């Protein structure tokens, strides 16, 4: 007879399957090039994303990445609920490098010591002015820039994601003030 731990694991897996949502890319790409995490660190603006329950209603979304002395990466995500000037919601987490050869694959956690979320830098500008972030299932996608993008920059970034096989009709453009 299954014990309490089995029930917890089954419940967690069931919830995760429901929360994950549809896949926007049935054959998600692997990271295209190595990432220099020192250059990747700093402030990023979310230009667009696949909308997920944990970000629903968020605009003015930013992420700040910084290296910690223990080798992990501090992650601070900020969102404004209901619009770019709405109430602020902050989520702090940490990431560890999952692929030391390229630095392009991280494991991220916002829930303590369990590194559960994949964070793959699929592509980025040579000057680290933009990046496209996803993971292995094709269910998550973020388009990030170092400043709120112009309409021309956003269109080009969406085009890059489309060329990678992503269904860009599923993207939600993030409003910034």
Q: What are the domain boundaries of the chain?
A: 25-173
Does residue 3 register a pLDDT over 50?
no
Mean pLDDT of 26-46: 94
Mean pLDDT of 106-126: 90
| Residues of the chain above pLDDT 90, percent | 76
CATH number at 25-173: 2.40.128.20
Give the whole-angstrom CA distance, residue 127 versus residue 21: 33
In this prediction the pTM is 0.85
Mean pLDDT of 36-57: 95
pLDDT digits (tens, 9 = 90+) for 48-60: 999 998 899 999 9
Instruction: Mark out the alpha helices in the chain (DSSP H runs).
Output: 4-20, 37-40, 151-163
The dihedral sign for the CA sequence 68, 73, 74, 80: positive
Give the chain's mean pLDDT: 88
């Amino acid at each position: 007879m299954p014990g309490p731990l089995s029930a917890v694991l089954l419940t967690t897996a069931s919830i995760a399957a429901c929360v994950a949502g549809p896949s926007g890319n049935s054959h998600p790409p692997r990271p295209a090039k190595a990432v220099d995490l020192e250059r990747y660190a700093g402030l990023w603006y979310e230009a667009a994303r696949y909308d997920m329950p944990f970000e629903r209603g968020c605009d003015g979304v930013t992420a700040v990445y910084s290296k910690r002395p223990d080798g992990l990466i501090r992650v601070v995500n900020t969102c404004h609920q209901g619009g770019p000037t709405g109430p602020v919601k902050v989520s702090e987490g940490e990431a560890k490098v999952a692929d030391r050869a390229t630095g392009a694959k991280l494991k991220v956690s916002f829930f303590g010591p369990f590194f559960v979320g994949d964070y793959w830098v699929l592509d980025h500008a040579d000057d680290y002015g933009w990046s496209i972030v996803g993971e292995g299932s094709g269910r998550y996608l973020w388009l990030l820039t170092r400043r709120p993008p112009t309409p021309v920059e956003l269109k080009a970034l969406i085009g890059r994601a489309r060329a990678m096989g992503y269904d860009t009709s599923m993207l939600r453009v993030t409003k910034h003030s």
